[in-house]
Structure 1
Amino acid sequence: MKLNKQPLLILVISFILGIFFQDYFSWADNFIYPIIGICILILVSTFFRYYFLHITKPYLLGLMFFGIGVVLHFFNSFSAQDISFSKNEAIVFKISKKLNSNDKKRKYEAFAQIGKENINTILYIPKSENELDFKHYYKAEAYISKPKTPQYDFQFDYAKYLKRKNIGYQCYINGKIITAERNDLSRSEKLSQTRLQVLRNIDKTDMSSKSKEFLKGIILADRTEIDVQTVQDFNRSGLVHFLAISGTHIVVIFGLFYFLLIKILPLKLRKYAIISSLVLIWLFTAFIGFGSSVVRSSIMLSVYFIYVLLQRKPDLLHSLALSAFIILIFDTQQIFDVGFQLSFLAVLGIFWLNQPIVSRFPIQDNWFKKLIFNTISISVAAQLATLPLVLYYFHQFSFISIIANFFIVPFSEIIIVFSFVMTALIGFNLDLNILNKLYDFIIEVLLKVIHWFADFDILFFENISMNLLEVFVLFLIIYLMRFAILKLNIRNFSRLIMIVFVFLIIRTGFNIYENSRSEILLHDFSKNKVLSVKKKNQVCFWVNENSDKQKIIRFIINPYCSAKRLHRYKLKVFPKTTQKVVYKGKIYEIN
């Protein structure tokens, strides 16, 4: 691939670099307005035909797109209002999105009014209360707080995550909720309410609870009530992309629409089948709430088929770059979304590695071989391309995922189509008992198979440390793998091995550095404190006996071990009463 044949991709990369630059340096408006002026000058200069401007045009355009990225991210950055509230306030609110529930509370994104102030907030409702909907206003007493930044850099920054979504507060409902009917629903809210009604219709069917939650997740992008064990099984088996709405789902549903339309429309109107299918896909996208992953997939699909309709050869990289640019123009914060990064990297991986991997397989002289070999190659290519970021963000990987994808993915189209038909029937109140039982049986078998794959602990690795430098070198390795697979000669093989050695040297250096350090940290967790004492490559955690140890392991111990490159830890429990620990002349209290 020659980059000079991909000008749009290069310009979009420049645009993205501008977003990262502004996010890191946070330039104020006294820098932003001169950048706007420079961008306008560069744009005007493209209309002049001077030799110097002609030869420097690619660099000037790259600089202009970099500046556009800086400017758009400046105007798209959210700064939470510094509003003082008492601990308990009466709030009036409406929900804008339903979020994942926890053991005790349901969570929603909401728009709330507190006195004369309007805020975007995360709302926590006790599960003893009825579920909220979009067709009511609500009023209740709530405890209001601003999300705190984490104590240490290895912890997940929830405050920053909410800030990227323009949310600056959390509200915990602790009083009776009063409702009032709304008569000002927008079109999007009416669609959200209709979707909510379909979700409630699914809950009324006689399928098992796991099948209901699977159906709601795979088609309606609602995983808010799915049980922890099922989510863990999908994560550990590397099949979480199957549960979440992704490009595969959109392509399959588009294919279903197209198949039905070509059976209805005459041959000369075949192109209108594509247009109608795209319109239906966007209606579906709107219906399930314009989720970021669904919008990404729908834009990419639309761009691809616009090339087809214009009778131009579809270019995957052009489609990918244009899709990313369209999304980021409207919301530059999307580039920091893990799903955004992984989905685009997966497509890049398929573009870069799929054909080289397929070329190493035996000749595919029938449809079965094509199905099997392409399933393997696409899965391996996507997983290799996303592996560096998966390790960086999640610090875990399972080798069983390659085998699990090989067995599950070929059946994914059938399951997606069946799930879509089931959702449509239930949405129109056509609850067919025999179909419910058949679907319930298939999904129960599927979940058991996925659980079986997830139970291969020997192939599952967690607390894998990874920093940005290591991620960059891993991407270099993946880049060079294409050439080594296509043509395994001394030159390509030696380059690949050299970069692998560089990666091992860098990784070993970071391991030695972290394992030579000792430190004592006091971690706040809910109402408890956790004391960690690290001495070189060993660490011990002291916790109170009434604390939730599983959550402490998940939110404190595992992130710490990943950041400090530790493979083992000790966990010691103190009695419920206040304890004092003396270490090297210092006293630490565990409450």
Structure 2
Amino acid sequence: MYFWNSYPFVRLTIVLILGIVCFDQFPFIWNTPIQILSTGILLLSISTLISHRYGFYKLRYLNGILAVAIVFYFGGTLTQFNYRAYSQNHYTNIQSKISGFSGTISSPVNERTNHFRYDFELDQVIASDSMINSSGKIHLYVRKDSATTLLKYGDHLIIAGSYYEIPGPDNPSEFNYKSYLERQGIYGHSFVRSDQLRITLNDPPNLFLNLAFNLRNSATQTIDQHIPSKRENGIAKALLLGIKDHLDNDVKKAYSSAGAMHVLAVSGLHVGIIYLLIQLLFGKLRKSGKWGKRLFGLISVLIIWFYATLTGLSPSVLRAATMFSLVAVSQATAREGNIYNTLGFAAFILLLFDPYLIYSVGFQLSFAAVIGIVYLQPKIYRLIDFRNFFLDKAWAITCVSIAAQLATFPLSAYYFHQFPSYFLVSNLIVIPSSFLMLVGGVFMLIIDPIVPIIGHIVGVVLHKFIWVLNEIISYVHILPNSLIEWIFMDKISLIFIYLCVISMISGLHFKSFKTIITSGIFGLLIISWNLLSNEKQSTENELVLYEISGKTVIDHIQGHDATLYVDDYKEEELELLDFQINPHRLSRHLRPIKETISTLRNQYFERKEAITSGQIAGKRIIIFDSTTFHLAFKNPIESDLIIINNGSVKSLKWLNENFPSKQVVIGNKNSVYYSNKMKVQAAELGLSIHSLKDDGALRINLAENMKEERTYMPAQLIK
């Protein structure tokens, strides 16, 4: 009954998270947040006063309910204040046509294939030949060319051009990049050339961040100097500074298959290594009385935040630095008994600054991994007792890996749909290696400006060490079945799995048979939910026309079978098709497209002149690929679906008279001008058409006679 009394911040954080999530789903509850919060605090104050002054101790239950309600509502209110609509001068609320804007670079450069990307804080926009004060952050893409120079944090720019809303997903189950950026406060982007912008001054808005970015730039130059080869250079920058711009896809795939991807993202593992090094160097201070503990805590916090500053204060490092700083402070004050409450406090503080962190994959994985390691690792470690020192240390590292994987597997399956088979083997090598590389790398960055020759020697050794690790990881990657892919888990299954696991652990910990039974019920719910999903899928029969630039792509899904029809494709284009189509295939428990792909030039389709026609699932489909002469036919040719490509049809009236169809689609091979022109004609004739570029993918339920579903809307110009 009193179990939760020892975990106040765990309770508060859970309630705060519920408030944040509920605001996203039911924002209308927060119509008058200040008034409701004020009323709640007033009622709690009165109730607390009465219960203490007059001894009505039964009111403590009411006090508890009121406190929970206030924290819950505060979570939603906090989210509302961070939402763009709360600011009246936010750029998304400006309705006029934009011809220019100004603002400040608020991040270091992120190098892309053809552009340099920056976070850009707007301060004014030019609309209707007047300057309007504005606020909000966009992504600014500056095209790479011979005249492009790198911009610096704090550069104030005046830009000729406009910005656009970030497009949402055009295809079903595709990654929602728009939502991802909105939760970081970014609602628009702008693509410009170097001749469209002018730097007026450099005035960093935050001197501490400016110092952090300058330190990271200096560290980057040191790494470039001592680790010249491209692959090892990219690994060193990712490992030491969290810069992933220079990692190629082969390296990412190899580390992902080996279960070592966490090494390439500066986060909890790296800050944990720094904290472990602090304990090795200054641990004796904790045994020298109260002031020794306090000095240890101060040194720990200073070194942790120095490293965080060196890496540029990325969000993942800020999370880890906050977490380990609180652990260090709790140890310094001799209050190290309740690590869970410390973690709860860290999460609470982080969410106060950014409530949308709860949706961050890194945030979720970090806390899940730490909780799993703290609770499960000691219990797994005690299962086997090795007397040999080296075997014991290897077993301890293995236990850390097992605990972290057990805690994070449901999240990893939900987000990444894969599982590394050899994670135990690779982490036996990667975790000790990352310790040595991180310590050696930080030492190189510190000593190089002081004694360059030592910095160079350390750099050479580090270069060779990283090369050896890369070769080992590459070998693990090519082992048979190194990566189990195509794992699907939806939100309902994810929630049920964690409830099942938490109930089982709680039942065993507290020896509660009822809680174990509850875990079994959740397990049955997982099975039932998946059986229902499979049963529903078995009755599906639909066509999906995907929005893929320059392609006609039709997916016929019937039950658990699917066939993808593509007009034409090259082998190197399969990766793009995978990225845009496979998420939908996976969500429907279907096979990947590589196993089911076919062309529209097969036994089911025939091409005559400018027209390709054929049947899928008994439905007649006609595709216009090149200009027709718009002749009048004696007998109209009926079809179920017409796809128009390459601006081949000039008159919808002619099309409707000679090729009557239940559904007309403007395909992916048309210009925006043509699509708009056809929409005007359709409106005049009272016809219904679907433009894949404008309206996104089209799903047609064959069981309901070619019924159209339009659910994917692209972005429009933010005026």
TM-score using structure 1 length: 0.89
Once the two structures are superposed, what CA deviation does each residue of 1:347-397 show, in whole Å capped at 9, x if it has no partner? Answer: 22223322332232x224454344222211221111111111111112222
Question: Which of residues 166, 170, 190 in structure 2 aligns to 1:171?
Answer: 190
Contact 1:201 1:429 in 2 (8 A): no
Which residue of the partner structure matches residue 161 of structure 1?
A: 180
Q: SS of 2:488's equivalent?
A: coil
Contact 1:261 1:273 in 2 (8 A): yes
Alpha-carbon distance in 1 for matches of 2:339, 2:287: 30
User: 1:173/1:554 Cα in 2 relative to 1: closer, same or farther (>3 Å)?
Assistant: farther
Which residue of the partner structure matches residue 103 of structure 1?
A: 113
1:459-470 matches, within 5 Å, as: 459-470=482-493
Which residue of the partner structure matches residue 410 of structure 1?
A: 432
Q: Which amino acid aligns with 1:286?
A: T
User: 1:86/1:57 Cα in 2 relative to 1: closer, same or farther (>3 Å)?
Assistant: closer
Question: Which of residues 28, 50, 63 in structure 1 aligns to 2:69?
Answer: 63
Which consecutive unaligned segments of at least 5 residues does structure 1 have? none
Once the two structures are superposed, what CA deviation does each residue of 1:455-489 show, in whole Å capped at 9, x if it has no partner? Answer: 34524222322112211221134325547988999
Alpha-carbon distance in 2 for matches of 1:213, 1:498: 48
Q: Is the deviation greater in 37-46 or in 311-320?
A: 37-46
Q: Which amino acid aligns with 2:41?
A: I
Contact 1:391 1:466 in 2 (8 A): yes
Which residue of the partner structure matches residue 350 of structure 2?
A: 327
User: 1:503/1:531 Cα in 2 relative to 1: closer, same or farther (>3 Å)?
Assistant: same
Q: SS of 1:534's equivalent?
A: strand
Contact 1:385 1:478 in 2 (8 A): no
Question: Which of residues 40, 55, 59 in structure 2 aligns to 1:53?
Answer: 59
Deviation at 1:35, TM superposition (A): 2.8
Alpha-carbon distance in 2 for matches of 1:15, 1:293: 21
Alpha-carbon distance in 2 for matches of 1:56, 1:529: 62
Q: Is the deviation greater in 449-458 or in 336-345?
A: 449-458
Which consecutive unaligned segments of at least 5 residues does structure 2 have? 86-90, 602-606, 620-639, 645-666, 670-719
Which residue of the partner structure matches residue 409 of structure 2?
A: 387
1:345 aligns with 2:368: yes
Alpha-carbon distance in 2 for matches of 1:229, 1:237: 12
Q: Is the deviation greater in 494-503 or in 12-21?
A: 494-503
Q: SS of 1:204's equivalent?
A: helix
Larger radius of gyration: 2
Question: Which of residues 164, 168, 175 in structure 2 aligns to 1:145?
Answer: 164
Deviation at 1:422, TM superposition (A): 2.3
Alpha-carbon distance in 2 for matches of 1:27, 1:356: 46
Deviation at 1:315, TM superposition (A): 1.2
Contact 1:258 1:274 in 2 (8 A): no
Q: Is the deviation greater in 374-383 or in 576-585?
A: 576-585
Which residue of the partner structure matches residue 290 of structure 1?
A: 313
Q: SS of 1:97's equivalent?
A: coil
User: 1:546/1:330 Cα in 2 relative to 1: closer, same or farther (>3 Å)?
Assistant: same
Alpha-carbon distance in 2 for matches of 1:197, 1:84: 43
1:121 aligns with 2:138: yes
Q: Is the deviation greater in 2-11 or in 321-330?
A: 2-11
Which residue of the partner structure matches residue 571 of structure 1?
A: 597
Alpha-carbon distance in 2 for matches of 1:205, 1:136: 30
Q: SS of 1:238's equivalent?
A: coil
Which residue of the partner structure matches residue 476 of structure 1?
A: 499
Contact 1:544 1:574 in 2 (8 A): yes
Q: SS of 2:58's equivalent?
A: helix
1:561 aligns with 2:563: no
1:204 aligns with 2:225: yes
User: 1:237/1:508 Cα in 2 relative to 1: closer, same or farther (>3 Å)?
Assistant: farther
The alignment covers a number of residue pairs equal to 589
User: 1:491/1:91 Cα in 2 relative to 1: closer, same or farther (>3 Å)?
Assistant: closer
Contact 1:121 1:167 in 2 (8 A): yes
Q: Which amino acid aligns with 2:83?
A: S
Contact 1:149 1:157 in 2 (8 A): yes
Q: Which amino acid aligns with 1:560?
A: H
Question: Which of residues 193, 209, 212 in structure 1 aligns to 2:214?
Answer: 193
Alpha-carbon distance in 2 for matches of 1:307, 1:27: 40
Q: SS of 1:525's equivalent?
A: coil
Contact 2:171 2:581 in 1 (8 A): no
Q: SS of 2:481's equivalent?
A: helix
Which residue of the partner structure matches residue 586 of structure 1?
A: 641
Question: Which of residues 248, 260, 263 in structure 2 aligns to 1:239?
Answer: 260
Contact 1:11 1:61 in 2 (8 A): no
Q: Is the deviation greater in 244-253 or in 11-20?
A: 244-253
Contact 1:398 1:459 in 2 (8 A): yes
User: 1:477/1:402 Cα in 2 relative to 1: closer, same or farther (>3 Å)?
Assistant: farther
Deviation at 1:171, TM superposition (A): 0.9
Deviation at 1:194, TM superposition (A): 3.4
Alpha-carbon distance in 2 for matches of 1:84, 1:492: 56
Alpha-carbon distance in 2 for matches of 1:178, 1:25: 41
User: 1:483/1:258 Cα in 2 relative to 1: closer, same or farther (>3 Å)?
Assistant: closer
Deviation at 1:286, TM superposition (A): 3.1
Deviation at 1:247, TM superposition (A): 1.6
Q: Which amino acid aligns with 1:307?
A: S
User: 1:131/1:454 Cα in 2 relative to 1: closer, same or farther (>3 Å)?
Assistant: farther
User: 1:359/1:263 Cα in 2 relative to 1: closer, same or farther (>3 Å)?
Assistant: closer
Q: SS of 1:389's equivalent?
A: helix
Which residue of the partner structure matches residue 271 of structure 2?
A: 250
Q: SS of 2:69's equivalent?
A: helix
1:81 aligns with 2:87: no
User: 1:167/1:579 Cα in 2 relative to 1: closer, same or farther (>3 Å)?
Assistant: farther
Deviation at 1:501, TM superposition (A): 4.8
Alpha-carbon distance in 1 for matches of 2:21, 2:245: 31
TM-score using structure 2 length: 0.74
User: 1:263/1:313 Cα in 2 relative to 1: closer, same or farther (>3 Å)?
Assistant: closer
Alpha-carbon distance in 1 for matches of 2:599, 2:550: 16
